[in-house]
Structure 1
Amino acid sequence: MLIRKIESLIREHLQSTSNKVLLIDGARQVGKTYIIRYVGEELYKNFIEINMIEDSLKDRLFERVKTVEDFYFQVSMLAGNKMGQKEDTLIFIDEIQAYPALLTLLKFLSQDGRFTFIASGSLLGVTLSQTTSIPMGSIRKVRMFPLDFEEFLYANGFNEMTISFLRKKYENEEALDEATHNKIMELFRKYLLVGGLPEAVNSYIQNPNIVLVREIQNEIREYYAADASKYDGENKLKIRRIYDMLPSNMENKKKRIVAKNIENKKGKTFNDYSDEFEYLISAGIALNVQAISNPSFPLVQSSSKNLLKLYLNDVGILTSVLYGNNIRAVLDDERSINLGSVYETVVASELIAHGYKLFYYDNRDKGEVDYLIDDYDSLSVVPVEVKSGKDYTVHSALSNFTKNEAYNLKKAYVLSNEREIIKKDKVIYMPIYYVMFFENLAGRSNWGELKK
């Protein structure tokens, strides 16, 4: 079984006295159903699981459910012998977005108090934005992501002692010895190929065959693209077009979305596609990074929605599109291959999974810095530059950024393949794998997973 850090969050919530319904949001195929089922069956004598998409395709028992009693009646037809008491009965409503009215009903099910509930969905961000009566105060919404690099290390045989050792090294800003560094970098490059989608990771662990892994990734990518066809009207074609553009867009020097390229129509602006962008982001299949030109803490107060970068939600899908079954491009770190977009993607997925909202620095005169994150300890902004090549000390935009006294910077990071940790002025150079320990605890309640 894959170790998922969100397991502890689910377990602690279900064992708490909270009356809120835990609602796990996330893209398809990130492992929501499996981990909820695993914890639920362990903690509760009576575990009732209802997949609302399956119901919508078959009996449609819950299609017209409006009241608590209606809901219980339909559950009783499926699992009446398992409906015990609140303490020993967990009802898991999977793919709840199939019936948006059930999101509103969660409030009343929670208040009724006869059973314990948990729910999940793959397009909750989209559904909630279209739901007129959101049960605020009655739900606790948490987003789940593909396996991060730390979880990938667990999948490859690492234990808590090993991870704690690595974390301590990071906290003390100490480099690993060369042999350990090489081993972690080897696994990091494999993570770039495999990514964090559970089915792909399980396939790799059981049989390290890249062809099988790529088949899974390609199928899931098609799932994601096909989901757009469920959207209303002509938007679905634009959503599909934008999603298909992401890998090639990542290879451009400026990786932000150019509106006129989406339909090859001059005069198109960001606002013409705001619904399509919102769909991809809310569905969890794209990670959005917003531009900041004059950064100040907190970053959200000075972001621009009109300059946007979108990254794929899984680095394995990206390398599948870019390199297919040729693993040498990544594993051998060939000089002729620019892995910049791949490294940026993996850092984006790590940061967002660890509680950060994503921003980048964009200044017409001073250039771009890959990421900006909030540091709640020092109440300041921290720039993060990602380097995939040997010239990791060359970063003119970051250098200009750190010299600007108006930004009140305390530190900046450059993440690269290099083993040693070096401090030069405000810049800290460290190995890219240490990003797995960047954590925004202030953002955990809304975005991420509890530390194991």
Structure 2
Amino acid sequence: MTYLKRKADYYLQEWKNNSDRYPLIIKGARQVGKTETIRRFAKSNYKNIIEINFITEPKYKSIIEEGFAVESIVRLISRIDPTKQFEENETLIFFDEIQDFPEIATALKFFKENGKYDVICSGSLLGVQYHRIASISVGYKTDYQMFSMDFEEFLWAKGYSNKDISDMLVHMLKEKAFTEIEYQVYSNLFLEYCILGGMPNIVSTYIEKGTFEGSLALQRQLNNDYENDIVKYAEGLDKAKILSVYQSIPAQLAKENRKFQYSKVSKGGRAKEYMGCVEWLKNAGLVNVCYCLGFAELPLKGNIDDSKFKVYMADTGILISNLDDESQIDLRANKNMGIYKGALYENFAAEALIKQGYGLYYYKKENSSLEEDFFIRSANELIPIEVKANNNRSKSLGQLINSEKYSDIKHGIKFTTGNIGINNNIITFPYFCIFLLKRYMDKQDIFK
């Protein structure tokens, strides 16, 4: 299967070029492409690659039986497999699926101090085990969060260049509308991406076949794998509760009010019964959580009501695979992304914001229709982000910008199915531009 270029490729090369590099832990959900990315990087940069998978090769869990000194670990690895070659400064040791053997993280300190071998660790559901891993390797590791492919990586896979992407950013910065042809091409590509999601195996199959054949089956199988992982890695009685919360997310997003409600998980369900379940799924990389602001003002992190939140799927393709058959037809045949009352657009926006390093925050004024989907900030401003399935007027956005009550808000950004435009300090972009939001914010003078 064809390897698809990833942003992690650049990160790994920068890590290798740093003479004072630390052992690296790459976190991410199942099948986001961690293993293949690391293997490709390793083949291009090392003479010897020692790959150990703690799920398929549990015998290697014995390599710490004599302690965590590098010499003893290397000796015990070579005892199990004498063909493995360890050459100083020419060898990468790749510990994969370390969620099944988090104890190996203790050795990272010793590998850093020893300095003879580079080490990369990887695994799924690391968020669940990560508190344990972090506490036993603090100060001796570098972390990198890997996600499924974003829209930019999808464009690369479809043959688009960095120049094409730079041109899209220029349109945004100059507030210059796309031509009709440009708009239609990027809109169709965006729809393809949303239907497929960003799992590289699914995208690669689509690129090679040129059709969506088998994509839905692959998505649903992956969703089943996630559910099996929950059963495998969650502890005690929480297994069933966490699984129920995860399975309720599509229905939660289908509601007009998408605030997460435990009563929708089980009849009469309360927060205290499901304590920690959403956090578990977030740490596992399966969902993104959007917290409600107490008031639409800065600072963001210090201004949330953590009892109110929305939960989005980490990959929109997985959410789409949960749609019923009628909705699947409406989406695929009629290109109707507005099904689920716009929840697909919101889910995609949440996913794109997270992949750019933003946190997720929304605002809902009590006893009022005033509600805003997301917020980001510049150096001095709080910027509301509205996600609309149509081009209707943005009443809440206008109210936030014009009211003296919200002094931190001076501009708003709206993503719609329409083209680029600006009106009353509201800047409108097509949905396919959202992956460029951070670069736009960094370069746009009005936000500096």
Question: Superposition pairs for residues 312-351 of structure 1, below 5 Å?
Answer: 312-324=313-325, 326-330=328-332, 332-334=334-336, 337-338=339-340, 340-351=342-353
- Which one of the candidate residues 158, 167, 175 is aligned to 1:165? 167
Q: Indicate if the aligned counterparts of 2:290 and 2:310 stay in contact, CA closer than 8 A.
A: yes
Distance 2:163 2:51 in 1: 35
- Which one of the candidate residues 52, 55, 59 is aligned to 2:54? 52
Residue aligned with 1:414, SS:
strand
Partner of 2:153 in structure 1?
A: 151
2:409 is aligned with 1:409: yes
2:432 is aligned with 1:430: no
- Which one of the candidate residues 255, 276, 282 is aligned to 2:258? 255
Partner of 1:447 in structure 2?
A: none
> Aligned letter for 1:422?
G
Q: Indicate if the aligned counterparts of 2:173 and 2:440 stay in contact, CA closer than 8 A.
A: no
Identity %: 29
The Cα offsets for residues 240-276 of structure 1, whole Å up to 9 and x where unpaired, read as: 101111111111011121122323235x12x432321
Distance 1:250 1:211 in 2: 27
Q: What root-mean-square deviation, in Å, do the aligned CA atoms of Structure 1 and Structure 2 show?
A: 2.3
Distance 2:6 2:129 in 1: 26
Distance 1:170 1:412 in 2: 14
Distance 1:339 1:95 in 2: 38
TM-score, with length taken from structure 1: 0.90
Which structure has more RCO (C-alpha within 8 Å, separation ≥ 6)? 1
> Aligned letter for 2:358?
Y
2:299 is aligned with 1:298: yes
Distance 1:78 1:170 in 2: 57
Distance 2:143 2:167 in 1: 32
Partner of 1:102 in structure 2?
A: 104
Partner of 1:449 in structure 2?
A: none
| Structure 2 unmatched runs, 5+ | 443-448
> Aligned letter for 2:104?
L
Q: Indicate if the aligned counterparts of 2:25 and 2:144 stay in contact, CA closer than 8 A.
A: yes
TM superposition outliers: structure 1 runs of 4+ over 6 Å: 440-443
CA shift in 2, pair 1:277/1:130, >3 Å: farther
Distance 1:53 1:388 in 2: 43
CA shift in 2, pair 1:425/1:331, >3 Å: farther
Residue aligned with 1:54, SS:
coil
Partner of 1:140 in structure 2?
A: 142
Q: Indicate if the aligned counterparts of 2:54 and 2:60 stay in contact, CA closer than 8 A.
A: no
Deviation at 1:48, TM superposition (A): 1.3
Distance 1:59 1:239 in 2: 31
2:418 is aligned with 1:379: no
Deviation at 1:160, TM superposition (A): 1.9
Q: Indicate if the aligned counterparts of 1:110 and 1:138 stay in contact, CA closer than 8 A.
A: yes
- Which one of the candidate residues 193, 198, 201 is aligned to 1:199? 201
CA shift in 2, pair 1:442/1:101, >3 Å: farther
> Aligned letter for 1:97?
Q
| Structure 1 unmatched runs, 5+ | 444-452
CA shift in 2, pair 1:202/1:323, >3 Å: farther
Greater mean deviation of Cα atoms: 170-179 or 129-138:
129-138
Greater mean deviation of Cα atoms: 80-89 or 135-144:
80-89
The Cα offsets for residues 9-66 of structure 1, whole Å up to 9 and x where unpaired, read as: 111101211231121100000000000110111011111111112223x564347464
Deviation at 1:129, TM superposition (A): 2.2
Distance 1:262 1:111 in 2: 49
Greater mean deviation of Cα atoms: 102-111 or 146-155:
102-111
Residue aligned with 1:184, SS:
helix
> Aligned letter for 2:4?
L
Distance 1:286 1:158 in 2: 29
Deviation at 1:95, TM superposition (A): 1.3
Residue aligned with 2:285, SS:
coil
Residue aligned with 1:322, SS:
coil
Question: Superposition pairs for residues 218-367 of structure 1, below 5 Å?
Answer: 218-230=220-232, 231-265=234-268, 268-269=270-271, 271-324=272-325, 326-330=328-332, 332-334=334-336, 337-338=339-340, 340-366=342-368, 367=370
CA shift in 2, pair 1:135/1:341, >3 Å: same
CA shift in 2, pair 1:335/1:294, >3 Å: closer
Distance 2:231 2:161 in 1: 42
Partner of 1:393 in structure 2?
A: 392
Deviation at 1:146, TM superposition (A): 0.6
Question: Superposition pairs for residues 8-47 of structure 1, below 5 Å?
Answer: 8-47=10-49
> Aligned letter for 1:396?
K
Distance 2:30 2:68 in 1: 29
Distance 2:257 2:365 in 1: 12
Distance 1:65 1:241 in 2: 42
- Which one of the candidate residues 77, 89, 92 is aligned to 1:90? 92
CA shift in 2, pair 1:280/1:441, >3 Å: farther
Distance 2:102 2:30 in 1: 17
CA shift in 2, pair 1:369/1:330, >3 Å: farther
TM-score, with length taken from structure 2: 0.91
Residue aligned with 1:263, SS:
coil
Q: Indicate if the aligned counterparts of 1:192 and 1:330 stay in contact, CA closer than 8 A.
A: no
Residue aligned with 2:74, SS:
helix
Partner of 1:128 in structure 2?
A: 130
Distance 1:227 1:236 in 2: 10
> Aligned letter for 2:287?
A
> Aligned letter for 2:258?
K
Q: Indicate if the aligned counterparts of 1:23 and 1:139 stay in contact, CA closer than 8 A.
A: yes
Distance 2:333 2:438 in 1: 27
Deviation at 1:79, TM superposition (A): 5.2
Q: Indicate if the aligned counterparts of 2:48 and 2:92 stay in contact, CA closer than 8 A.
A: yes
Q: Indicate if the aligned counterparts of 2:64 and 2:104 stay in contact, CA closer than 8 A.
A: no
